[in-house]
Structure 1
């Protein structure tokens, strides 16, 4: 158990390091929190509509936007990792008697705190605009758990891609890969309104699975009970692939 305790202590130290960066750069955190709110207002009240949606569009949109919020905003994490790599900070950490991967776990823990804050802010904004979940407190807790699990999986994909990119200037090219995941989904419109080939892609998108499961738990239109298990299985499968890849990549010295 001493090894696990050592790893947890190192990870908490790295988490505090990331939180200290937030205190020195609050603007970056604020932008990450406000951007999803702007998207919610834009799609819900400026563009609106929702092709193929049966029922109230806001009830359909809010769970989709919550899922989209968990997919977006990874560039801050990716930039932080690549900057540490580029400045040699990671190499200095490797030379310390520190648990392998504690730097990445600390970074992910800080990101999850920000994600929880973003989820709370988005929920509060939706409630202020008149949206109401229909499943009760337990259902919302389950929905929040699915959303944060999806975020955790996306986060480790982002960390691995940042380690592969290696330099901050490469992050912009890599993070473009996140946009198809977000917009080739059912966050804004029902797949039934799309061409068959596109609807198939959208339905298999992990973000769509999470959004559909959240809609079911919160009693919104477009929800399906069977997607709850898929919304658990997809992130766990992604974590099983990208978590060890990221830790292994981190441990590999750069040449």
Structure 2
């Protein structure tokens, strides 16, 4: 490895580590247990973990078929469809929240139908949190899976098809095993992104304690009232995210190393 690579690598590492160190120097570690175990903090943490888990499941259920379609479809316009799917990666989350609000809000064309026909109002509910998190997190899963499928090629699936296997059997017995290493990595990225989601959530779901106020929203709320509490909760969020990535990601990469 060229030694010169250590210089930008060290700068990049400092760009990530030093802001966290800044939080540590500002925090009152003696009060840390007290601050992070308050009733509002625990409710926010529980809601964050629950909604992030639900949105990750939604990402898998919806994102896996979408990634397969993008990677294997020969239909014209797939490139445009891919650009639309990846749009949440480049859009500011607040814009995504506004888009969801004007789709599913009472004045949105779909939200109006849901309210008039079923009496269902989605915005400012826990369901809205899950939808917002899924909206911003699913592209991470799709990118991981589509890249894995394109890298693996379709020769195994073609062989299975020529041997008489029906499409569903090819998908279940050939395509899914090819996806598993990337699926683990994509799930971790999606969960971590959903856990830290803020902009789309506060715009589409609001900040109602115990119902839509996730941990990032609780940090923002406490920053206006008690900065020590906000810093402690920010550190808690960092710890949870690091634990999730450190525990899950090495396992997700075992198949790649093999």
TM-score range relative to shorter protein: 0.3 to 0.5
Tell me which structure has the larger Cα radius of gyration. Answer: 2
